[in-house]
Amino acid sequence: MYGKGRIIPALILFLGLMTSPIWYKSGEASKMPKPEKPKDYTECVAPTQEMRTSHMVLLNQWRDDILREGGARTGKTPNGTEYVRSLQNGCMKCHSDKKKFCDACHNYTSVKPYCWDCHLQPKEAM
């Protein structure tokens, strides 16, 4: 073998970098986020799984519909419950604690939505 002194350390460095997520001091896989669900309400505007994957799309649709198309401020769930289509006055009415609800999953998956650049959290509003 030629160039041993350079190739072996370089190869070890490469393998180390490639496997770095494994030996990086990583939290336990079982430590899943547990967003706190509201106690007084049982129904959301869409089924749970749909909200899990697509709530950000829904928020964008509301914004476009209400602010740009002049759509209605209120909507109805399949069960007929009326709700306000609004982040601050709708979502946050039930899910009132941002830290315990929004941030739980967002921090886990490193998502930093820019909602709060403009909107106020309920506590701050008071």
Beta strands in 1-126 (DSSP E): 74-76, 82-84
Count of residues binding other proteins (CB under 8 A)? 39
Q: Is 108 in the site for other proteins (CB under 8 A)?
A: yes
Q: Is 28 in the site for other proteins (CB under 8 A)?
A: yes
Alpha carbon of residue 86 to chain centroid: 17
**Candidate residues 36, 38, 42, 57; the one interacting with other proteins per rule CB under 8 A:** 57
Integer Cα distance of 18 and 94 in angstroms: 44
- Give the shortest CB-22-to-other proteins separation in angstroms: 5
Which distant-in-sequence residues (6+ apart) come within 8 Å of 31 by Cβ? none
Rg (CA), the chain: 22
**Candidate residues 46, 59, 84, 94; the one interacting with other proteins per rule CB under 8 A:** 59
Q: Which stretch binds other proteins (CB under 8 A): 47-55, 67-75, 76-84, 89-97?
A: 47-55
- Give the shortest CB-29-to-other proteins separation in angstroms: 4
